[in-house]
Amino acid sequence: MRENLLHYFPDKRRILLLGILRDKDYAGLTEILDGAADEYICITPESPRALPASELADFLKRYNKPVFVCGSIRDGVSLALDRSDDESVVCAVGSLYSVGEIRACFEKY
């Protein structure tokens, strides 16, 4: 994902909509992705194993980039779209448990 974001969107501001499960290597994942992120919007995947968005946001602050916490996946999608413009790209990454609701926001089932 990191290489694709850098390759296909080199001149865009990259907004990552990110939700991760607690039992995954989120430190390793974010270390890799950070080189392609300009800001983060944290969401909590729909799973009892989810890392809460607020905990993920606290962890991501180490990268000194804008970090936002959303109370729902729908709110995260909305904020990502509000923060984007013609000079940016939004990419949802992390847990597949978030995909269904993200797709529903765009009426893609």
Q: Which residues contact 64 (CB under 8 A, 6 or more apart)?
A: none
Domains in the chain and their CATH numbers?
2-105 (3.90.190.20)
Average pLDDT over residues 96-105: 89
- 108 pLDDT higher than 80: no
Convert the pLDDT of each residue in 58-70 to its tens digit. Answer: 999 999 999 999 9
Rounded to a whole number, what is the distance in angstroms from the first to the last CA of the chain? Answer: 23
Task: Print the SS3 string covering 38-92.
Answer: CEEEECCCCCCCECCHHHHHHHHHHHCCCEEECCCHHHHHHHHHHHCCCCEEEEE
